[in-house]
Structure formats: structure tokens, C-alpha cells
Amino acid sequence: MAFPDHPHIAAQPGSTPHPVVGTWRLVSYDVVARSTGERIPAMGERPAGYTIFSREGRVWFLLTADDRARGDSEAQRAQLLETLIAYTGRYRIEGDDWVTTVDVAWNPAWVGTEQRRQFVLEGDTLQVLTPWRVMPNWADLGQNRGSGLRRR
């Protein structure tokens, strides 16, 4: 079944929702350095997280590193932000991209921006790629992109 681009993904009553709608559990996440092609498990070997696409057109994205320690001190709590990516907003589908207009984020610099992700949907597997860019958590790598695999 072909699904056209959706300026707003919200399903009309009685319509079939886009196949991306639902809850997706993160099973892997790597960052790829553009200059070298090096693949880095930046959030560890067993990161945790979910991406939830609602029928009403909102997405929630949460990614945390494995082996996160409690944040008892102010410095430890600040360090926890280095192992977290979280945002939500309205989304739309454009071909093989989903675009989120961010209204809440762990990093206030993302609020009001559009975050574009390429995706490949095969059955119960969703492969997600970020655009090449300098990501705030891994700026030392220069241009890089995230690559994550999710399953229903």
C-alpha cells in the first residue's frame, strides 16, 4: 500500500494510519564519523530508548546510553545530559523522511527547529538515519550521523 506525503500525519476517522505510527523500541545506535567512516557505539553496546509516533501527529523520541550511573552530585547530574537525547513535537512524513517541528527538547537549542530523519521501514524494523552534521553530544567527531535500529 502506497502512502503519500503527509503534511500532518494525523489520521482521519476511518482512515488507515501511516505504517510508522506506533511504538518503536531502540535496539542499537551508532554514530558514524563522516571523515573516516568509523562507526562508534556512542551510547554503548545496549542503549535504551523509544520512539513513539501517534496517529494525531506527535512524535516522542528518547535515547539513553547504557550503564548510566545515578547523578548524586551536581557534576554527575550534568554529565547525565551527555548520555541523553530527548525531544517531542509535531511530525510529518515527506517520502522517506520524517520531519519533527520540535516544541520540547533536552537541548533548548532544538526547540523551534525542524529535525529531519531518513527512515527505512521493513516489517517490524525501522532503520533511522540523521543527516550529516555536527551533533551536540559528539561535536569532537566533526560531521557525523546517527544510525539507529528500532523494532516494534
What is the 3-state secondary structure of 40-102?
ECCCCCCCEEEEEECCCCEEEEEEECCCCCCCCCHHHHHHHHHHEEEEEEEEEEECCEEEEEE
Domain boundaries defined on the chain: 22-151
CB 53 within 8 A of CB 62: no
pTM of the model: 0.84
Residue 24 neighbours by CB distance under 10 Å: 23
CATH topology of domain 22-151: Lipocalin (2.40.128)
DSSP annotation of 139 reads G
CA distances in angstroms from 128 to 14, 67, 76, listed in the order given: 29, 23, 30
> Tens digit of pLDDT for each residue in 3-57?
444 445 555 667 788 999 999 999 999 999 999 999 989 899 999 999 999 999 9
